Amino acid sequence: MRRLLSIASAVFVLTLAGCGEVAPPEPYGATPSPQQVEWQKMEMNMFAHFGPNTFTGLEWGLGTEAEDIFNPTALDCDQWASIAKAAGFKGIIITGKHHDGFCLWPNPVSVHTVAQSPWKDGKGDVLKELSEACAKEGLKFGVYVSPWDRNDPHYGTPEYNDVYVKTLESVHDGRYGEVFEQWFDGANGEGPNGKRQVYDWPRFHETVLKLQPRAIMFSDTGPGCRWVGNESGIAGRTNWSPLNTKGFTPGAGAPPIDTLNSGNVHGAVWHPAETDVSIRPGWFWRESENDKVKSLKKLLSIYYTSVGRNSLLLLNVPPDNRGLIHSADSARLMEFKAALDEIFKVNLADGAKVSATDCRGKGFKARNILDGDFDSYWATSDGVNKATVTFDLAGEKTFNRVLIQEYIPLGQRVKAFTVEAMGEDGQWKEIARETTIGYKRIVPVSKTTAQKVRINLEAYASPVINGFGLYDDNISEYSE
Ligand code: FUL
């Protein structure tokens, strides 16, 4: 009897092993916080530059503008939010305070705010209206509060850091609900007295984190996400989310531009790139640029070089001096959304038979790649860092875009990959050779008709892939 029992338990153990009940791979290198993962999934947010410059036509206000210059005639944040929502943005970040120092909310430590303006008899609050409009549309709300201030008389003295901390507190103390992103630019020009400020960055960060622990902080060095290094909408073709920030500060002490653009392989902290770019030539609205809104093709190309290169896209759509998004911008945004919907409507890899040269075991099968579930992925056994995944498309498919996603909660692991396609002749032909993947990589390839497609991956630790797509883009004409 005892013998029988031990045989039975041995069979049981063997059965378990046979099913391949294995643990998930260990995370590799720097990894994102759960908030950073959620943030990355937003993919596209809207930036709204608005303030005195909207009325003066300047890009950088002087700080000496009279408060009564701020007087939008028809401000309607519901209009901004409904356009943003319809365009596919997941959140809006507004310039609560730009370099001119004017605050779009009644900041208690400033006398250069909406409260001193004629708009709504000084009783208005743009942050309140926008945060409520965002909540109604299910959008997240974020704020840009420029540390550089050309108005505040304390700027350039230690007192200004106190003023700025109180300013941050009045935005983040909950009166505008949850703030998903705090945008810090590194600008550090002269204040009204000709002095520059020595910013107390650790204190600024602590202030935001204390009040909004889930907020992602943007700057050249994070700590939540990093500037991509240019304002033209282009993330690096190689783009690591990890970054080394030790010894660097936002602004003049920032990491080199090419580092911001590509991140650091094996970087110590997870600071994914955010690509901020304006739909117009300037950041602020001006009448003379109503006919200079970026073309649909340009916006699509920006989409590929930002979202398609493991970056978040923050597209600036500046409201005009009425306080409305101009029809030239909203019409273009609707074309942009319609084009993206059309391009990504059909994943030609859906229904493909997926196989891989290695599989970690049950729960990590190659077919997980196509199940549409972010948290279900294919992974190899530990130590197997090179592998190939083949998609048998069940018939011929024609495409010119290849989309691949890594499961970033386990870090960014793939360092190089190629894509090959097999046509009627039964020969594999290389159609792409690239480096990083990250959260999402969309590789433009020349128009390819194939029965099978395979990706050959080389990673620092067993690759973890949770998404793959083949698309036929007949709109953008984008190529690399
Ligand atoms: C920069 C600013 O100097 C520009 O005016 C603009 O706001 C851009 C998004 O950030 O740091």
pLDDT digits (tens, 9 = 90+) for 368-395: 999 999 999 999 999 999 999 999 998 9
Question: Considering only CA atoms, which of 413, 425, 469 is closest in space to residue 445?
Answer: 469
Dig out the tokens for 398 from the structure.
């024609």
Q: How far is the CA of 274 from the centre of ligand 1 (A)?
A: 14
C-beta separation of 22 from 363 below 8 A: yes
- Ligand 1 atom nearest the C-alpha of 185 is 11
Ligand 1 centre distance from Cα of residue 282 (Å): 10
pLDDT of residue 1: 44
pTM of the model: 0.95
- Stretch 418-435: mean pLDDT: 97
Query: Residue range 388-416: average pLDDT?
Result: 98
d(CA 315, CA 113): 26
Of ligand 1's listed atoms, the one at least distance from the Cα of 98 is 7
Q: Which atom of ligand 1 is nearest to the CA of 47?
A: 9
Taking residues 169-192, report their average pLDDT: 95
CA of residue 51 to ligand 1 center, whole Å: 13
Position 2 confidence tier, pLDDT thresholds 50, 70, 90: very low
Please give the helix or strand (H or E) that residue 343 lies within, else none: helix 327-343
Strand pairing category for 140-145 and 91-97: parallel
Residue 116: what pLDDT? Answer: 98
Phi, psi of 189 (to 5 degrees): -80, -165
Whether 78 has a pLDDT exceeding 80, the answer reads yes
Residue whose C-alpha is closest to residue 362's, from 345, 379, 348, 384:
379
How high is the mean pLDDT of the chain?
Answer: 95
- So what's the pLDDT on residue 135? 98
Q: What is the DSSP letter of 367?
A: G
Q: What angle do CA 101, 105, 107 make, to 5 degrees?
A: 70
| Strand pairing class (269-270; 242-243) | antiparallel
Give the model's pLDDT for residue 239: 99
In tens, the pLDDT along 4-61 reads 444 444 444 443 433 457 999 999 999 999 999 999 999 999 999 999 999 999 999 9
Q: State the pLDDT at residue 111.
A: 98
Position 458 scores a pLDDT of 98
Compute how many other C-beta atoms are within 10 angstroms of the C-beta atom of residue 281: 12
CA distance 262 to 289: 32
CA of 185 to the centre of ligand 1 (A): 7
The confidence score (pLDDT) of residue 21 equals 75
What is the arithmetic mean of pLDDT over 322-337?
A: 98
| Predicted confidence (pLDDT) at residue 93 exceeds the cutoff of 70 | yes
Residues flanking ligand 1, CB < 6 Å: 59-60, 185, 187, 276, 283
Helix (H) or strand (E) holding 50: none
* Residue 382: C-alpha distances to residues 362, 406, 446, 457, 468 (Å): 14, 16, 35, 15, 22
Tens-place pLDDT, residues 116-166 = 999 999 999 999 999 999 999 999 999 999 999 999 999 999 999 999 999
Substitution site in 185, 199, 219, 230 for ligand 1 pocket (most atoms within 8 Å of beta carbon): 185
Distance from Cα 70 to the centre of ligand 1, integer Å: 20
Ligand 1, atom 3: closest residue by C-alpha: 187
Q: What is the mean pLDDT of residues 231-244?
A: 98
49 C-alpha vs ligand 1 centroid, how far in Å?
Answer: 9
Question: Ligand 1: distance of its center to the CA of 93 in Å?
Answer: 13
Residue nearest to atom 1 of ligand 1 (CA): 185
Dihedral (CA of 334, 335, 338, 340) sign: negative
Our measurement of the distance from residue 469's CA atom to the centroid of its chain's CA atoms, rounded to an integer in Å, reads: 20
Atom 6 of ligand 1, residue of closest alpha carbon: 283
CA distance 14 to 150: 72
CA distances for 336 relative to 86, 89, 279, 285, 340, angstroms: 10, 11, 11, 20, 6
Residue 57 in tokens: 């036509």
In this structure, what token pair is assigned to residue 440? 């999402």
Separation CA 226–CA 148 (nearest Å)? 18
Do residues 220 and 199 lie in contact, with contact meaning Cβ atoms separated by under 8 Å? Answer: no
